[in-house]
Structure 1
C-alpha cells in the first residue's frame, strides 16, 4: 500500500481508502453486518488503514458498525474520516437546505443540509460516541449549506481542532469558490469530490486550485458505484430498493460497455480485474490524494487493496485516456 500526506497536515492516508456508504445499508438494499466487519478488518490487514464514513450512511449505522469493528484495535494505526451536515433527526427545526425525504426501514425522514456552529458541535459529539473514539482524524462538511455562512462553519471546525476532538478539517462537494472562501477562515486539509473515468469535471478548475493551495482531493465514486467494474453488463442484478437502479440511468450504458471492452485486455495483461484497473487509474491522476473504494465483503476488500499492486506505464495511461474519448 502507498500512503499519502493529506494537504498541509500530518495525516498520512492510504491511497485506497475504505468507503463505507454501502455498509450503512440505506439506499443500498441493506447490509450484512458480519461480512461488512470482515471487509473492514481485511482492508486494515492489507494496509487500507483509512476509513471514510458519515452519519448519513445508514442514519448512524455505518459509524456504529465501524466503531464496533475497530474497538480493540490500536487507534493510532487507523485513520477515521467522517462528516457532518446532513440532518435527519429534526434537531435542525426545519432550518437549512431541504434535500429530500429519506426512507429507511419503513420510516420517512426529512433530510436537510445544515452546518450551523451549534450543529457542527452537536454532530461531532454524536459521531465520537458512535465511533467509540475520543478524536476524529478528519472531519468534513458533507454538503454545502447555503443558509449558514461558510466562516461560521469553519470557525466551529477550528474550535474542534483546538479542543483536540479532530485532527484536521475538510469539506466535501465544495466548488472552487466555496473552497477558497473556506480557506480564509481555516487551513483546509481536503475537499472530497466525485471523480471517475465517467466524471472528470473537477479537473477543470477545482484540482488545479487544490494543487496551488495544497489542499488534498479525496475522490469518491471512482467506480461509479460499481458500474465500472463491468459486472452489471454480465448479468448481475440489483435489489429493487437499491438506488443504483436509477443512478446508472445517467450514463450512456452502451458507450460505457464499449469502453470497458476496450480496456479489459489491459486488465487481463496485468492479471487484474476491471475494477482494479479503474481504481489504479484514479490513484495516478494529478492532484488526487486518495481514492475511496467501498467493500461489502472480504473478497471486495482484497480486490480493492490489491489494485495498488498494478504498475501502469505512461503509455498505458495514455491508451486508457485515449479510449475514454469514446465517452465524451
Structure 2
C-alpha cells in the first residue's frame, strides 16, 4: 500500500481508503452486515488502513459495522474518518431540510443539514460510542450548513480537538470560499468531494486551491458508484431504495457511452492483469491534487480487488492515452 499525508496534519492515510457508505445499506438497496464486516477486515489484511464512514450512512449502522470490524485491531494501525452535520433524529427541526428519505426499514425520515455547536459535540460523542473508540482521526462536516455560522461549527471542532477526541479537522462538499472561512477558526486537513473520470468539476477551482494551500482531497465515488467498473449494462435492474437509478450517469445512453470508453481501456487493463476498476482507481490517485480514492465494497472479494489496485502502475504515456480517450466522452 502507499500512504500520503493529509494536508499539513500528522495524519498518514492509505491512498486507497475503504468508503463505508454502501455497507450502511441506505440509498444502496440494502447490505449484509456479515459481508460488510468481512469486507473491512479483508481491506485491512491487504494494506488498507483508513476507513471513511458517516452517521447518516444507514443512520448509525455503517459506524456500528466499522466498530465491529475493527474490534481487536490495534487502534494506532488504522485511521477512522467520519462526519457530522446530517441529522435524521432531531426532535425539532433545525438547520435546513436536505431531503426526505426512508431508513433501511422503510420508515420515512427527514434529513437536516445542521452543524450547531451542541449538535456537533453530541454527534461526535455518539460516533465515538458506535465506533467503539476514544478518538476519531479525521472529523469532517458532511455538507455545508448555510444557517449556522461556519465559525460556530468549527469552534466546536476545535474544542473536540483540544480534548483529544479528534486528531484532525476536515470538510466535505465545501467550496473554496467555505474552506477559507473555516480556516479562520481551525486548520483544515482536507476536503472530501466527488471526483471520477466522468465527474471532474472540482478541477476548475477546488483542486488548484488545495494544491496551493496544502490541503488533502479525498475523492469519493471514484468509480461513479459502480458504473466505471464496466459491469453495469443498459437495462440494469436496481434494488428498491437504490438511488443510482435516478443518477444522470445511469441514463441508458450514458451507460452506453461510458461502456464504449471503458472498452477502449480493456486491452491496457488486461495487459497488466488488472480489472477496469483497478485501472480507474490507479488513474484516480495519480491525478494531480487527489490524495485518496474512497472505494466501497460490500464483500471481502470486492475489498481485496480494490486494495490490489495499488499494484497497477501507469506510465505517463498510458495516462495520456486514457486522458485522450476520456476527452472524447460526452454525456447527456
Q: Which residue of 2 aligns with 1:299?
A: 301
Instruction: Return the TM-score normalized by structure 2.
Output: 0.96
Q: Which residue of 2 aligns with 1:222?
A: 222
SS at 1:232's partner residue? coil
Q: How far is the alpha carbon of 1:154 from its aligned partner? A: 1.1
Q: Which residue of 1 aligns with 2:320?
A: 318
Alignment coverage as a number of residue pairs: 327
SS at 2:187's partner residue? coil
Q: How far is the alpha carbon of 1:203 from its aligned partner? A: 0.8
SS at 1:252's partner residue? helix
Q: Which residue of 1 aligns with 2:182?
A: 182
Tell me whether 1:96 sits opposite 2:83 in the alignment: no
Q: Which residue of 1 aligns with 2:232?
A: 232
The 5-angstrom pairing of residues 52-71 of structure 1 reads 52-71=52-71
Aligned mates of 1:234, 1:77 — CA distance in 2: 42
Aligned mates of 1:249, 1:40 — CA distance in 2: 27
Q: How far is the alpha carbon of 1:245 from its aligned partner? A: 1.5
SS at 1:326's partner residue? coil
The 5-angstrom pairing of residues 266-285 of structure 1 reads 266-285=268-287
Structure 1: runs of 5 or more not aligned: none
Instruction: Return the TM-score normalized by structure 1.
Output: 0.97
SS at 2:188's partner residue? coil
Tell me whether 1:164 sits opposite 2:172 in the alignment: no
The 5-angstrom pairing of residues 242-253 of structure 1 reads 242-247=242-247, 248-249=249-250, 252-253=254-255
Structure 2: runs of 5 or more not aligned: none
CA RMSD of aligned residues (A): 1.3
Deviations 1:105-126, CA, capped at 9 Å, x for gaps? 1211110000111111010000
Q: How far is the alpha carbon of 1:79 from its aligned partner? A: 0.4
Aligned mates of 1:264, 1:237 — CA distance in 2: 24
Q: Which residue of 2 aligns with 1:80?
A: 80
Aligned mates of 2:284, 2:265 — CA distance in 1: 14
Deviations 1:29-77, CA, capped at 9 Å, x for gaps? 1111111111100100111010000000000000011111112110110
SS at 1:189's partner residue? strand
Change (3 A) 1:10 1:106: same
Aligned mates of 1:310, 1:237 — CA distance in 2: 31
